[in-house]
Amino acid sequence: MEKEKSICFSLKRVNHIVERGIHTSLAAAGFDEITNMHGWILGFLYHAQQPVYQKDIESNFGIARSTVTNILQLMEKKGYLTRTTDEHDARLKRLELTELGKKVHLDTIAVIDSAHDAMEAGITDEERRICFEVLEKICKNVEKITGGE
C-alpha cells in the first residue's frame, strides 16, 4: 500500500502537525518553556486525589528515576511544585503544586483547549462521530496484533 493512502501514515502525520500546532500556540501564549512532560506532571499533580511521590511519577509515566529527579528539580526551581519530607517516612518526598504550578496548569489547558477548538473548526458532529468510530476500529485491530499490550 502506498504511504499516502495509508490511514496509519496519515495518523502519524496528523499527530505531528497537531503537536506542532499546540506547541506553537503555547509558545505564543508565553509557555515555550513548558515541555510535554512538565505539562503531564502538572496535570497529574493537579488531579491527584491522594499524596503523590516521585515513585508515582516514575511508574505512571514509565520514566527512569534519574530522569524524574532532574525533571522535578527543574520544576521545583521554576516554582511549579514543592517537595516536602513525608511525615511517616523521611526517605519519601511528597510532591505538591504551588499556586504558580496550579495557575500554569490551568492556563496551559486553556491554551490547548483553544487550539483544539481551532483545529476542529468546521467539523460536523457526524464527522466527529465517524472519526471516533474509525479510530476505535484501528485501536481494536492493533490490540489483535499486539495481544492487547
Asked whether 104 and 52 are in contact (CB, 8 A), the reply is: no
Report the alpha-carbon distance of residue 129 to residue 131 in Å, rounded: 5
Third-level CATH fold of 3-146:
Arc Repressor Mutant, subunit A (1.10.10)
Residue 69 grid coordinates: 529527579
- Residue by residue, pLDDT tens for the chain (149 residues) are 565 688 989 999 999 999 999 999 999 999 888 888 899 999 999 999 999 999 999 999 999 999 999 999 999 999 999 999 888 888 888 999 999 999 999 999 999 999 999 999 999 999 999 999 999 999 999 999 988 66
Q: Where are the domains of the chain?
A: 3-146
For cell 472519526, the residue is: 131
Separation CA 139–CA 133 (nearest Å): 10
